[in-house]
Amino acid sequence: MTDRSLLELAEQVAGWARDGEEVEAYVARGRDTDVQVFSGEVESLSSAESARIGIRVVRNHRQGFAYAGSLDPDVIAETLDEARDNAGFASEDEFVGLAAPDGVAAASLDLWRDDLASYPTDVKVAQAIELERSVRAGDPRIRQVQAASWGDAAVSSAVATSTGIRASVRRTACFLTVNAVAGDSSDTQTGYGYSVGRGPSDLDLDKAAADAVERATRLLGAVKPRSDHVTVVFEPRITATLFGILAGTLDGESVLKGRSLFANRLGEEVSVPGFTLVDDPTDPDAYGAAPFDAEGLATRRNVLIEGGMLQRFLYDTYAARRAGTVSTASAVRAGFKSGPGTGARALSVVPGSESPDEILARIGDGVLIQSISGVHSGVNPVSGDFSVGAEGMLVRAGALAGPVREFTIASTIQRMLSGVVGVGSDLERLPSSAAGLTLAIADIALSG
């Protein structure tokens, strides 16, 4: 189905709104491939097409939602009926309502690569096999490759409402991922490598392989460090995760509902002068770039923290109305089984002037963190408590010393923000809602 016919379908459903009713239809079609290889053979190859629809109905300031994994006409009709019925059970809320066109022009973004659609399956398979082979050949201490894979997806979607919204977008993405296992049974370490792009030409297989090998092998012989309070240097992959957590606390709906750490701190200093956090889905280089938000409004550049000062929260249409402001076009959909909520798409921190090595040299002693675990179980975005498992390298006299594992690092989100002592120049685009860069934070509790 083409973009145009998807948009027409969404408009058709929105057009079924009855008097006094607002209807929003989100429709999408996707195609994806997943190749897993092991020991030089294809372990599995999956390919499939999927279709999905999510319908919101607002009537008498009450909202209902329904979804389905099919675009068959009978399913669409049933989904609309369900959403309509569900609206009757929600509480009345004067701020509930769909977005309406606000005159902001959408960024012109080219997120689709035709060459991915025509990329032959046997070449995808060959890439995954080559990735595994490169990792095995990368170092004699690599004893296993837990998983090496190729994945790709092409998705077209459209949103239309009875309030005049019409938006459509299509995007492609492909990935190579590999998990290397180094060492023997008495000392095993793992390292993850990947490369992601919109099309095959964006992928860097050698870098993915080299990353996995280096990360696994440099941890060999890792010891449990002694408990201490230390300066921690986070690699870009980790900071992308941290920025995502931070953005969750800057969501306008959480602020309104009394769940944000930063609720009454607009205009106040929450970080150091060198820290500026931006969410800019109009940036074509951002992985999460998108011309429209989940409600069909044109996305825009939102500066959340500027020079350490808290500048703005993210809003979707509902939260903005309730806060007496305008949407920042930050509606996102967490899958298709729920209606839009608020969230960031393309976060990044404005890079500093120091390279990662210069940061290490300046801080002298500390710990470089290459992976963290337990983010969902150890980070509480409401209280701000932060505690995660970690692996990495000790830093002594400004250089990497021995590897360390099986320890935690802990602080609070608030203290970490004000404890930033280094922002790297190495902005790295990552397959998430945030870009990463090397970031140093002082006085973090390390438990070993």
Partner 1 sequence: MKTGGDFAEIYAEDRRATGAVLDDGRVEDLVSGRERGAGIRVVVGETTGFAHTSDLTEAGLITAADAAAGAAREGGGVVRTISLTRVAAPAPSRVEVLPETVAKADKVALLRRADETARATGGSIRQVNAVYGDNRRRILVANSDGVLASDDQVKTRFAVSCVANGDTGMQTGRESIGATIGFELFREVSVEELARMAAERAITKLSARPAPSGTLPVVIKQGSGGVLFHEACGHGLEADHIAKEVSVFTGRTGQLVASPLVTLVDDGTMTSEWGAIAIDDEGHPAARNVLIEDGVLTDYMWDWLRARKEGRQSSGNGRRENYQCLPMVRMTNTFVLAGAEDPDEIVRQTGHGVYVAQLGGGQVNTATGDFVFGMTEAYLIEDGQLTEPLRDANLIGNGPEVLRNIDVVGNDFAMGSPGTCGKQGQGVPVGTGQPTLRVSALTVGGTAR
Q: Is 188 in the site for partner 1 (CB under 8 A)?
A: yes
Q: What angle do CA 216, 220, 223 make, to 5 degrees?
A: 125
The DSSP output letter for 157 is: E
Q: Is 447 in the site for partner 1 (CB under 8 A)?
A: yes
Among 3, 144, 204, 206, binds partner 1 (CB under 8 A): 144
Q: How far is the CB of 92 from partner 1 (least distance, A)?
A: 8
How far apart, in Å, are the Cα atoms of 374 and each of 177, 197, 239, 379, 432?
Answer: 21, 27, 15, 8, 18
**Binding segment (CB under 8 A) for partner 1, from list 139-147, 197-205, 285-293, 326-334:** 139-147
The secondary element (H helix, E strand) that includes residue 83 is: helix 73-87
**Binding segment (CB under 8 A) for partner 1, from list 102-110, 223-231, 266-274, 347-355:** 223-231
Structure-token pair, residue 20? 């006094």
Site for partner 1 in 10-39 (CB under 8 A): 38
Site for partner 1 in 417-446 (CB under 8 A): 445-446
Q: Is 385 in the site for partner 1 (CB under 8 A)?
A: yes
Report d(CA 433, CA 430) in Å as an integer.
Answer: 8
Q: Which is nearer to partner 1, 197 or 339 (CB)?
A: 339
Among 12, 146, 201, 325, binds partner 1 (CB under 8 A): 146
Q: How far is the CB of 130 from partner 1 (least distance, A)?
A: 17
The secondary element (H helix, E strand) that includes residue 14 is: helix 3-14
Q: Is 85 in the site for partner 1 (CB under 8 A)?
A: yes
Half-sphere exposure of 189 (CA within 13 A, CB side): 25
The answer to whether residues 168 and 157 touch, using CB atoms and an 8 Å cutoff, is yes
**Binding segment (CB under 8 A) for partner 1, from list 83-91, 127-135, 231-239, 426-434:** 83-91
Report d(CA 302, CA 310) in Å as an integer.
Answer: 12
Closest CA to 90 of 56, 47, 40, 54: 56
Q: What are phi and psi of 410, to 5 degrees?
A: -145, 145
Q: What is the DSSP string of 301-349?
A: -EEEEETTEE---B--HHHHHHHTS---S-EE-SSSSS--EE--SSEEE
Q: Is 190 in the site for partner 1 (CB under 8 A)?
A: yes
Site for partner 1 in 386-405 (CB under 8 A): 387-389, 391, 405
**Binding segment (CB under 8 A) for partner 1, from list 82-90, 235-243, 267-275, 290-298:** 82-90
Q: Which is nearer to partner 1, 249 or 302 (CB)?
A: 249
Q: How far is the CB of 334 from partner 1 (least distance, A)?
A: 12
Q: Which is nearer to partner 1, 69 or 284 (CB)?
A: 69
Q: What is the largest CA-CA distance in the chain?
A: 72
The answer to whether residues 416 and 385 touch, using CB atoms and an 8 Å cutoff, is no
Report d(CA 205, CA 239) in Å as an integer.
Answer: 23
Site for partner 1 in 45-64 (CB under 8 A): 45-51, 63-64
Q: Which is nearer to partner 1, 15 or 374 (CB)?
A: 374
Q: Is 175 in the site for partner 1 (CB under 8 A)?
A: no
Q: How far is the CB of 368 from partner 1 (least distance, A)?
A: 18
Report d(CA 384, CA 411) in Å as an integer.
Answer: 8
Q: How far is the CB of 245 from partner 1 (least distance, A)?
A: 14
Among 110, 115, 285, 406, binds partner 1 (CB under 8 A): 406
Q: Which is nearer to partner 1, 15 or 448 (CB)?
A: 448
Q: Is 268 in the site for partner 1 (CB under 8 A)?
A: no
Among 123, 268, 380, 401, binds partner 1 (CB under 8 A): 380
Report d(CA 18, CA 15) in Å as an integer.
Answer: 8
Q: Give residue for tokens 């689709």.
A: 112
The secondary element (H helix, E strand) that includes residue 138 is: helix 121-138
Site for partner 1 in 294-353 (CB under 8 A): 337-339
Among 5, 15, 42, 223, binds partner 1 (CB under 8 A): 42
Q: Is 362 in the site for partner 1 (CB under 8 A)?
A: no
> What is the total count of residues that contact partner 1 (CB under 8 A)?
79
The DSSP output letter for 7 is: H
**Binding segment (CB under 8 A) for partner 1, from list 127-135, 155-163, 384-392, 420-428:** 384-392
Q: Which is nearer to partner 1, 166 or 405 (CB)?
A: 405
Q: Strand, coil or helix: what is 96? A: coil
- What percent of the chain is helix, strand and coil (3-state, nearest 5)? 25, 40, 35
